[in-house]
A and B are shown apart, each in its own frame.
Chain A
Amino acid sequence: MSDVVLETRDLVKHFPLTRGIVFKKQYGAVQAVDGVNLQLRRGETLGIVGESGCGKSTLARMLVGLETPTSGDLFVQGKNMSKVGAEERRRGRRNIQLVMQDPYTSLNPRMTVGDIIGEPFEVHPDVVPKGKRRAKVQELLDLVGLNPDHINRYPHQFSGGQRQRIGIARALALNPEIILCDEPVSALDVSIQAQVINLLEKLQAELGLSYIFIAHDLSVVRHIADRVAVMYLGKIIEIGTEDEIYDKPTHPYTQALLSAVPVPDPKLRGLRDQIVLTGDVPSPANPPSGCRFRTRCWKAQDICAEQQPTLEVRDKSGHPSACHFAEVRDVVHATE
């Protein structure tokens, strides 16, 4: 247990849908996250993939404490964050920091880079004594590959990739053990994206960080993650090591998702197993009964509408998958 730094048990977030102004009446709920169990081990990178609206960002917000779970428990280093007092929760949060998606809106344009990166010290003053803060900020700038002399510059004087580095420096300010990256490279150009990914990998090796890496780009996740969880409509539908998910996916949704990613190699054109899904993701306010993917699934039988498949190991693949008919199918590589 000791090497598990973060754990969630049946984490649920429902956003109520209400009607009326004076007499509010709840008539439903958006089931953004519905019973998520995760474990993050020390020094590993857990990738979370899924399409927009699958609940991955809501999950991230709950993990860093920006959103209160409707039910379920969150353990940070063995401590149940919903049971401990406010002071201890504040200290617990120090250990888990967020790198946000959009480097253009997540930095205050009126603050200097030094103030942005140093702001966490005002919330947690005991991390670095007042006199040493400027030096610490410069050290952080150097660590993420920026010029320490640029401490008095403003965000608009930096490019997108450099701004994302500022966001990473801010997340590192409190010496956290866990960094949660919510789509950290999706707003960047490919050549810059590779620079930021390499930086994240370098920092992990140097500082022994654990990452939760949320992204919709499956190629990037394959590159950086040790284990991968696939989400669909608020639930994890398949989880396993990077090899298991990419080379031996068993859930039909994972297979469809992987087959939809174009591979940058024209020689593979037409040689890969292509699954084109029909229709759109159902509304999380009114998810289908039983398996949530059954409305778009080509394997769906009666049992899928009646019984919700649990996340368990069903076949030889050796990793858990929430499908009654889980079966390995290679969709990433050329079929012949």
Chain B
Amino acid sequence: MSTDVNVKIDALAGVDPDALPLQVKDLHVEFRTRNGIARAVNGVSFDLRAGETRAILGESGCGKSVTAQAIMGILDTPPGFITGGEILYRGVDLLKLPESERRKVRANRIAMIFQDALSALNPVFTVGFQLAELFRKHRGMSRQDAKARAVELLDLVKIPAARQRVNDYPHQFSGGMRQRVMIAMALALDPEVLIADEPTTALDVTVQAQIMALLAELQRERNMGLVLITHDMGVVADVADQISVMYAGRVIEEAGVDDIYASPAHPYTKGLLESIPRLDLKGHELSAIKGLPPMLTNIPPGCAFNPRCGYAQEVCRQDPAPPLYQVSPSRTAACHFWKEVKGDE
């Protein structure tokens, strides 16, 4: 156990330690399919500071998972293509790096947790083998040392009897335990940024609470930046610092967690908040957002939300789409009528 895992043997050129751990600038991703071009991400930008939790909130098909895949460099190409923008890790544009350099970033500095742990783990290898593989490939450890580290990691994510469980296969774990294994795997190489794509969606609420508590604890200990991708407004209210709300491939509102819940400045955010039933409030009527999200192959001109929006005027139906207006020094919203939506505070 003499090997120091914190030594990054995969050195990366051009890293500026004072730059932000993750910056996404005007990212565009499209999928070229037989039915036309689906514009999944249309100019997403956000910053992530060390120790900060940024939630990316949105419904299915809004481009939040594609954004995560683009950051990790695991986008299926083809059909997916990154057509513009920058993804900066401490000042280095990852999109310009060759695959061999990219691999030094993946898992080492930016790691990811997937939604469905059972399909993300390999069913024919033991959990211990899959964890140890990281240390063998990225740190050049011997099998024995790597296995010992795997046990330590399982201990870290509070799997009981880690020494025995390390030889079990993924199917022998329960849903919550598998997600713990995923977390262990993501944290193995001590990354600076963790991307969690719907980490608790497949889990029961009591298990969700365990996993979120574990993530928060590990994040605090390591001062890690966390990008939490989710559609659950409850989880976001509990853990996030900054929120980016996405709709049809765009960030339509960005603000601190308190601002967004207290006074949403975009009609979509407002509609989402009004459409969720609350545990602590009794039978208020749910005001549903009418209609459906647009097809990504056929996003309406102007503001993508205009067909479903109660505030929509002629200006909303015409290109260009509304820019991100500065609502206050720390928040933005992509709505021409943000003042009316937000109301007086």
Which of B206, B213, B237, B282 is within 8 Å of A265, CB to CB?
Answer: B237
B82: Cβ under 8 A from any A Cβ: no
Report A-chain residues with C-beta under 8 Å of the C-beta of B234.
Answer: 219, 261-264
B59 within 8 A of A: yes
Pull 19 A–B residue pairs with CB atoms less than 8 Å apart, ordered by A: A51-B204, A52-B175, A190-B272, A191-B289, A192-B288, A194-B288, A219-B234, A224-B277, A256-B206, A260-B205, A261-B205, A261-B234, A262-B232, A264-B261, A264-B276, A264-B278, A266-B261, A267-B262, A276-B210
Please report which residues of chain A, range 171-216, place their CB below 8 angstroms from some CB of chain B when the two chains form the complex: 189-195, 197-198, 216
Chain A residue contacts of B282, Cβ below 8 A: 222, 242-243, 246
A220 to B212, CA, bound (A): 21
Q: Is the CB of B59 within 8 A of A189?
A: yes
The reply on B221 being an interface residue by CB < 8 A is: no
The size bracket of the interface on A is: 35 or more
14 further contact pairs, Cβ within 8 A, besides A222-B277, A262-B238, A263-B279: A194-B277, A218-B279, A219-B276, A224-B277, A259-B209, A260-B208, A263-B234, A264-B276, A265-B237, A266-B240, A266-B258, A269-B237, A276-B209, A280-B207
Selected from B205, B209, B236, the residue in CB contact (under 8 A) with A218 is B205
Q: How large is the interface on B (under 10, 10 to 19, 20 to 34, 35 or more residues)?
A: 35 or more
A residues in contact with B271, CB < 8 Å: 191
Contacts of A222 in B (CB 8 A): 277-279, 282
**Which residues on A sit within 8 Å (CB–CB) of B278?**
219, 222, 263-265
Determine whether A98 belongs to the interface, using a CB cutoff of 8 Å to chain B.
no
In the assembled complex, how far is the CB of residue B230 from the closest CB belonging to chain A, in whole angstroms?
10
Q: B175 to chain A: closest CB distance in Å?
A: 8
Q: Which of B206, B235, B271, B276 has the most CB of A within 10 A?
A: B206
Given A198-B286, A242-B282, A260-B206, check contact A280 B174 (CB 8 Å). Answer: yes
Instruction: Closest A residue to B241 by CB, please name it.
Output: A266
Residues of B within 8 A of A274 (CB): 209
Question: A161–B293 Cα gap in the complex (Å)?
Answer: 11
Partner of A258, one of B210, B273, B275, B279: B279
Nearest-neighbour CB distance to chain A for B24, whole angstroms, equals 24
CA of A226 to CA of B210 in the docked complex: distance in angstroms? Answer: 30
- Interface status of B287 (Cβ within 8 A of chain A): yes
Q: Are B204 and A194 in contact (CB under 8 A)?
A: no
Question: Is there a chain A Cβ closer than 8 Å to B124's Cβ?
Answer: no
Residues of chain A within 8 A of B206, CB atoms compared = 51, 256-257, 260, 276-277
Across the interface, do A246 and B275 meet the contact criterion of CB distance under 8 Å?
no
Determine the residue in chain A with the shortest Cβ distance to B236: A264
> Which A residues are in CB contact (< 8 Å) with B104?
none
Chain A residues, CB < 8 A from B236: 264
